[in-house]
Structures are given as C-alpha cells and as structure tokens.
Amino acid sequence: MKKKLVVLSGAGVSAESGVPTFRDANGLWEGNRIEDVASPEGWKKNKQLVLDFYNQRRKNMLEVQPNEAHYLLASLEEYFDVHIVTQNIDNLHERAGSTKVLHLHGEIFKVRSTLDEDLVYDISSINPNGWELRIGDKCEKGSQLRPFIVWFGEAVPQIIPAIDICEDADIGIVIGTSLVVYPAAGLVQHFPSKAPKFIIDPKKPDVVNAKPNLHFIEEKATTGMQKVKDLLLAKYL
C-alpha cells in the first residue's frame, strides 16, 4: 500500500508560473481594496467591480502554465497516495496532472448561485470564452451567479475535510505558504507527530507550536520540490 502524502500548498507554488501573490507590491488586488473585491460587503456594494476583477483573473489564468513544482507534485502519484490541500484558487495542480486536489478557498473557473451555494457551475458552461461572468448570468433558480470563491468573512466549508486528510498523513509537505492565514495555517498542526514534514519556502516560516519531525527547505517552490522528491524517493520507498 502506498504511503499517504499530504501537500499543503499556497500562493508561492504558483508564483513561478506568473500568478501574483497576495503580498506582491503590485500584485493580486491591483490597487483595489481587498474589502471591495473579496468580501460579501464588496459584492453587495458593487457587483460589477467584483465581476470585472475576477473576470480579469480568469482571463489572465488562461495564459498561465503549470511550473515544475506542479509537475513534480503530480509525478509523486506514481509512488505515493498524494492528496493536495491548496489555498490557491487556480487550476494549475489539476492541469499538471494531480488527481486529488481539495481547494480550501474555492476555484476561479467555477461560479455559484447566490441563492443556493450548492449550485456550482464551470464558467465555460456559462460563457464559451471560458472567463467572463456578467450581470444577468443566473443559476437555474433564477439568482445572479457569483465567483465560487471563499471571501474574507465567509466560512471555509472545506476545512473539516482538509483536517481529516491531514490527520491521516504518513508524510506532509508544506509548499508556497507562509502559514499565517487561518484557518488554513492551522492545518500543519493536524499532521501526526510521527509523520515527517517538509516545509518548502525561501523565507523560513515561523511555525508556532510546530510538531516534531519538521524539515525546512529554504528554496523557491520549483527547486525545493525537486530536493524533496529526491529525499522522498531515497528514504521512504
């Protein structure tokens, strides 16, 4: 039986593909206040602004490709039972070939009903261009569609399934996340104490109350992931 390898990924794993991170000086928010484009209050205040913001994100994402870190993670499925729990809303893990990906904060290429949050659609089924959601695009119950994103101030429905996945890990990898945004940052605490945990980040994160068996690889995602793959294949197979 393959060992269960659980990966917690954040914005840093997609940064080398050209996807802006939250903390870039001219990054994700592009001069917008976070509250205006990523909160229920912002949606209520100006739906068009929010739709324009995420439309541009989707359009940009169509021009982006997975990087070597994504492909290395996908390649580990040959040797391990790999589960990826990601804070990212992009689809780069899936495009690289990973088959078990849980998105904590939603998915950029999906939209959902504002009336029934269980009604979720691929954006391509709404607009053939694959990126544009407009005022007047409605769900089957007649309500306006919104981005399938967990905004600031909203609950994170996938956090419990994510905890369950982490608690059953034989090996853990944390890649591209500073471990400061909760509740996602708390997931590392749910790795079993006996499980080796590899944390890949060029700036060593401050892991509060971290469990034993932590191994820090102070590298960017692509080079750090290659090192971790080499270690895993040498030691745990």
- What strand order describes the sheet that includes 145-149? 120-122, 106-113, 145-149
Q: At what angle do helices 68-75 and 221-235 cross, to 10 degrees?
A: 20
Among positive and negative, which fits the CA dihedral 45, 48, 51, 57? Answer: negative
Distances (CA, A) of 100 to 10, 23, 53, 80, 165: 16, 27, 28, 12, 11
Q: Which residue has the tokens 């809303």?
A: 89
Residues 88 and 10 sit within 8 Å (Cβ to Cβ): yes
C-alpha–C-alpha distance, residues 14 and 60, integer Å: 13
User: Helix, strand or coil for residue 213?
Assistant: coil
Q: Is 103 an annotated catalytic residue? A: no
Catalytic member of 70, 83, 103, 105 = 105
Instruction: Point out the residues that are catalytic.
Output: 105
